[in-house]
Every structure is written in structure tokens, then in C-alpha cells.
Amino acid sequence: MIWESVVAVLGILMSAGYFPQAYRIWQKKNADDVSLVTFGIFAFGTTIWALYGFLLKDWVVFAGFIVGVIGSWLVVTLAVYYRFIRKIPQKVEMSVSKKREMLD
């Protein structure tokens, strides 16, 4: 019982490692140096492991990976947002500005 508790706490702490990366992306409003492939693999893997722990009713596996699911998907979501979605209005605005310059 004690061993399971230690493993669960360590799994949660290890999975919390995604949150500093998510915070950095949010703080800098930039994710150009974040590997979407790597974090996509982490997000998919932690989701499968958390689902596996849930289906087996193994709270140690589930608890260890559910924090990783939240953190890894947060990194992926923020990276996609700041790398692709947030830049769309800027590109449209720039193209409108260029058209105005050409007309003047």
C-alpha cells in the first residue's frame, strides 16, 4: 500500500513536468521552438496509458498519467494556437496593408 502511494505521487510529479513548458509558451506567446511531433506523441501516449489505468481500475497508473494527459495536451494546444491560429489575423492584416500600399 505504501509503495503504491509513493509510485502514484512520483508519477504525478513526473507528469507535472509538462506544465513549465505550457507556461513558457503562454508567457512568451510563441511556440516556434516546441516540437509538435514530440509533444503529440507524449499526448497520445499519456492518454492511452491513463485510459488503460482507468479501464483496469488501477488508480496508480491512472493517477500517474492523468496529470500528464492534461499537461501534454495543454502544450500541444498552446503550441498549435500560437504557431498557427494566432498568426492568421496578422497575416490577413499584413496582406490588406500591402494591397493598400499598392493602391496608393
DSSP class of residue 31?
A: -
What pTM did the predictor assign?
Answer: 0.79
Q: Among residues 34, 42, 37, which one has the least CA distance to residue 67?
A: 42
CATH number at residue 87: 1.20.1280.290
Contact 61, 53 (CB under 8 A): yes
Geometric angle at alpha carbon 85, from 84 and 89, rounded to 5°: 110
Domain that holds residue 61: 2-103
* Segment 45-99, tens digit of pLDDT: 999 999 999 999 999 999 889 999 999 999 999 999 999 887 766 655 556 566 5
pLDDT of residue 70: 97
Q: Domain tally for the chain? A: 1
Which of the four pLDDT bands, split at 50, 70 and 90, describes residue 35? very high
